[in-house]
């Protein structure tokens, strides 16, 4: 269950749902003590502190904010610019808290009433996870875009937020789970026919990896007893030196194959 330790704008509040989970919801537009109407009215000030509908003053209207944002506590800062694949997981339910029991829930006969009695889904509320990204700093991120089921972006710094929406001022989305996933492209870096120096040769990958990759070396023309050592193995490259059976440095031609994650731009 999410803790929601990030920051919320003034339109987003924290509550609990019917499963006793902590949830993000859109706040009401007006408070109970700011409302108008009689407290003993069937559809008055007790109904979520709402306001009367401007189109029909005799009919109680909605009081839910149209949108709001929750910004994740976690951000992503990389050591360089990479191609990053992001995923999103969002768990939510929705409820029309203005479809009131004492007003018939939109039906003349009690047995004809709609959800939750007959299970009709709510379609007027939603939520999505968005990402903002930059090559320079977290502070420079001002624009955000929706993360689809899987989105690949190029950047170094990433911020995440959730956008909650309500289309009719009545239906609330209740978000109980928010997660983002980060994946780096799996790739292979190779070079062939590299001639090494007897004193050792430093090789740089065509593009740096996010982390140190697995490395395979294929020596050519190796005599019995020849061997090589690797040093300074990093996500950017490695140093190799060949020796003969007497442990004397020699020159050899070799190929390599490095396999890992992260395409550095």
| pLDDT tens sequence across 95-133 | 776 655 545 455 555 555 555 543 344 568 899 999 999
- Check if the beta carbon of residue 240 is closer than 8 Å to that of residue 200: yes
When comparing pLDDT for 46 and 235, which is higher?
235
Distance CA 216, CA 234 (A): 14
Token digits of residue 36: 């108008």
Confidence at 60, pLDDT banded by 50, 70, 90 = very low
Token digits of residue 223: 């005599």
Q: What pLDDT does 127 receive?
A: 93
Q: What pLDDT does 33 receive?
A: 55
Confidence at 199, pLDDT banded by 50, 70, 90 = very high
Confidence at 220, pLDDT banded by 50, 70, 90 = very high
- Check if the beta carbon of residue 261 is closer than 8 Å to that of residue 235: no
Confidence at 178, pLDDT banded by 50, 70, 90 = very high
pLDDT at 240 over 50: yes
- Residue labelled with tokens 């949108």: 67
Q: What pLDDT does 172 receive?
A: 85
Q: What pLDDT does 31 receive?
A: 64
When comparing pLDDT for 219 and 173, which is higher?
219
Q: What pLDDT does 241 receive?
A: 98
Q: Average pLDDT of the chain?
A: 83
- % of the chain exceeding 70 in pLDDT: 77
When comparing pLDDT for 170 and 187, which is higher?
187
When comparing pLDDT for 91 and 103, which is higher?
91
Q: What pLDDT does 99 receive?
A: 59
Of the candidates 194, 213, 203, 187, the one whose C-alpha atom is nearest the C-alpha of residue 238 is 203
Q: Which of 21-35, 38-52, 237-251 is predicted with the least confidence, judged by mean pLDDT? A: 38-52
Q: What pLDDT does 111 receive?
A: 55
How far is C-alpha 254 from the chain's CA centre? 42
Distance CA 162, CA 138 (A): 17
Q: Is 91 exposed, middle or buried (0-12, 13-18, 19+ CB in 10 A)?
A: middle
- % of the chain exceeding 90 in pLDDT: 60
pLDDT in tens, 148-169: 878 899 999 999 999 999 988 8
Distance CA 208, CA 202 (A): 14
């Amino acid at each position: 269950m999410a803790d929601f330790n990030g920051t919320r704008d003034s339109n987003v509040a924290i509550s609990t749902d019917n499963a006793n989970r902590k949830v993000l919801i859109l706040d009401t537009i007006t408070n109970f003590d700011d409302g108008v109407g009689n407290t003993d009215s069937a559809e008055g000030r007790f109904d979520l502190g709402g306001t009367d509908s401007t189109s029909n003053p005799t009919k109680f209207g909605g009081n839910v904010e149209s949108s709001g944002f929750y910004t994740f506590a976690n951000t992503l800062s990389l050591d360089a610019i990479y191609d990053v694949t992001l995923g999103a997981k969002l768990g939510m339910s929705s409820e029309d808290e203005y479809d009131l029991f004492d007003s018939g829930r939109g039906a003349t006969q009690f047995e004809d009433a709609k959800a939750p009695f007959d299970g009709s889904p709510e379609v007027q509320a939603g939520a999505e996870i968005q990402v903002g990204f930059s090559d320079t700093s977290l502070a420079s991120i001002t624009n955000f875009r929706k993360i689809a089921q899987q989105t690949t972006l190029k950047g170094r710094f990433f911020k995440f937020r959730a956008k909650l929406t309500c289309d009719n001022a009545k239906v609330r989305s209740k978000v109980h789970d928010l997660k983002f996933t980060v994946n780096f492209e799996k790739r292979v870096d190779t070079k062939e026919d590299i001639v090494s120096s007897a004193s050792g040769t430093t090789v740089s990958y065509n593009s740096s990896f996010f982390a140190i990759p697995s490395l395979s070396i294929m020596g050519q023309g190796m005599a019995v007893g020849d061997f090589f050592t690797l040093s300074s193995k990093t996500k950017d490259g490695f140093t190799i030196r060949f020796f003969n059976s007497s442990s004397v440095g020699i020159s050899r031609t070799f190929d390599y194959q490095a396999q890992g994650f992260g395409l550095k731009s």
